[in-house]
Each structure stands twice: as C-alpha cells, then as structure tokens.
C-alpha cells in the first residue's frame, strides 16, 4: 500500500491556462475526495466520488472546475481558464467503504500546489 | 448546516507545558469527529478519531481528545508539549449519515523552547 499519491506536486501556470491534477487513491478505497486549501485556512470540500460516480459537488465550485474518476480508480481535477484566485493547495483523499475496512477517516495525499501568475 | 469551530487560530505553549486545542461542532446527532495534523508542505495526517465508542480517545504522539456531547466539544490535549509538535491542527466532522468531511479553519501550534 503506497498511500494516496498526487501529481504534479507543484504547478505554476499563467492566468487563462488550463491545468489538470491527478490523484491515485489507496487501492481498494472506493471513495475519493478533492479539497482545496488556501494559506491559513482549513481544507475546503470540492467534490467526492464513490467508485466512478460523483456523488456531491460543492455549490461554491465554479463551472471552470471539473473532476472525473472514469474507472473508479484514479481521478483527475481540471481547472479551465485559471485565475489568480485559484492559487491554492489541492488535496486528494480516499477512504474505504463500510464493511471493507472503513475505519471512518480520510487518508490524504501530499497535495498539488497551484500558483497562477 | 454542519460546521466545526476551532477557537484560536494560533496557540503558543512552552516546551513541556500542557497543550489544549479547542474544537466545537454543530450537530444534533453525534457525528464522527477527527483531529488531523499538518506539517509544512505536507498532507494531513490523522491524529485520532471519535466514532461513537469510548468518549476519551487516545491518538498518536501522546495526544488525546474527549468527546463531550453536552458541550458539543472535542478538544485536543497533550500533557507535555514537544518541539516536534509545532504544526497546524485541524478538527473535522463527518456528520452522521453522510460521507462528507467538514474541516475547521485550523490552529497553528507554536512550541517555545
């Protein structure tokens, strides 16, 4: 078990460009979450998946943000037409389902830091 | 809406002193409660969790927390602070019947030599 991995760890882009982040959850974890964290703040919920189904998406999430988990394994988070306000750490986390090792907690990756110039 | 409140965005303690980080939640039904720690440029690591078993929960690195339903609190404590405890600490709630986790704004702990 290698834990939750995220790629890239750091991304610098110019305003208006598109960026994509990838998350590989712990194998056999069926739930996958995306959070955004800005300096001095706690993680802010963006969306989560159960297998390939996106079950909830934050109402605060702009239409420029889209997430997918096509095969129920890895997930991608794409931000289109980036703005300076998108600069943040994007955290991915995963958890197991009840009856299959669900201990209740989220397991986090180390995050992908986005800087929009 | 469910929420988590962490009182004190910054807490400073002397090495060897008691650590107390406060967390209150809003929920009519006892939820799952968690404390996570985050070191610079790293993801969040679970310290401990309450999942409706014992109200006094022991975690890693000597931390513990007590669930008090009457006060809707889940404060984090450690009897004796160590320099390596300096980090940011987040309280989180997973409301009963959901799989969405809500985090507080965090408390940055500074340990003074």
User: Are B100 and A48 in contact (CB < 8 Å)?
Assistant: yes
HEC assignment per residue over chain B: CCEEECCCCEEEEECCCCEEECCEEECCCCCEEEEEEECCCCCEEEEEEECCCCCEEECHHHCEEEEEHHHCEEEEEECCCCHHHCEEEEEEEECCCCCCCEECCCEEEEEEC
pLDDT tens for B38-92 read 998 788 999 999 887 788 999 999 999 999 988 999 999 999 999 999 999 999 9
Q: Is the pLDDT of residue B2 over 80?
A: no
* Mean pLDDT of the residues in chain B: 91
**Residues of chain B positioned with their CB less than 8 A from the CB of A51:** none
Q: Which residue of A41, A56, A113 is in closest CB contact with B100?
A: A56
pLDDT for res B96: 78
Note whether A95 contacts B99, CB cutoff 8 Å: yes
Does the distance separating the beta carbons of B43 and A110 come in below 8 Å? Answer: yes
Q: What pLDDT is stored for residue B53 in this prediction?
A: 73
pLDDT tier, B97 (very low <50, low <70, confident <90, very high otherwise): confident
Query: CA angle, B53 as apex, B47 and B56 as ends, to 5°?
Result: 55
Q: Is the pLDDT of residue A115 over 80?
A: yes
For residue A63, give every residue at least 6 positions away whose Cβ sits within 8 Å of its Cβ, in sequence order, or none. none
Whether B94 sits inside 8 A of A104 (CB atoms) is yes
Cβ partners under 8 Å of residue B105, min gap 6: A40, A41, A42, B6, B9
Give per-residue pLDDT as tens, A5-30.
999 999 999 999 999 999 999 988 99
Cβ neighbours of B20 (radius 10 Å): 12
Distance CA B85, CA B10 (A): 13
Closest CA in chain B for residue A9: B41
Question: In the structure, what pLDDT confidence band is assigned to residue A102 with cuts at 50, 70 and 90?
Answer: low
What CA–CA distance (Å, rounded) separates A85 from A68? 22
In this complex, which of B32, B43, B106 lies closest to A42 when CB atoms are compared? B106
Mutation for A interface: B44, B87, B94, B96, most A CBs within 10 A: B44
């Amino acid at each position: 078990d290698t834990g939750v991995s995220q790629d890239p760890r750091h991304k610098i882009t110019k305003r208006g460009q598109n960026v994509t982040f990838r998350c590989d959850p712990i194998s056999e974890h069926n739930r996958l979450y995306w959070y955004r964290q800005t300096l001095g703040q706690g993680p802010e919920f963006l969306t989560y998946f159960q297998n390939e189904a996106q079950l909830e998406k934050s109402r605060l999430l702009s239409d420029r943000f889209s997430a997918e988990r096509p095969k129920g394994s890895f997930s991608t988070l794409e931000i289109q037409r980036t703005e300076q306000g998108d600069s943040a750490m994007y955290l991915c986390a995963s958890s197991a389902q009840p009856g299959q090792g669900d201990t209740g907690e989220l397991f986090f990756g180390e995050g992908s830091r986005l800087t929009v110039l | 809406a469910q929420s988590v409140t962490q009182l004190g965005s910054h807490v400073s303690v002397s090495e060897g002193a008691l650590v107390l980080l406060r967390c209150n939640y809003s929920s009519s039904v006892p939820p799952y409660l968690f404390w996570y720690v985050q070191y610079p440029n790293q993801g969040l690591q679970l310290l401990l969790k309450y999942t409706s078993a014992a109200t006094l929960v022991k975690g890693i690195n000597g931390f513990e927390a007590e669930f008090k339903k009457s006060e809707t609190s889940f404060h984090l404590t450690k009897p004796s602070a160590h320099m390596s405890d300096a980090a940011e600490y987040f309280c989180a709630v997973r409301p009963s019947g959901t799989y969405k986790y809500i985090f507080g704004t965090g408390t940055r702990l500074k340990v003074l030599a």
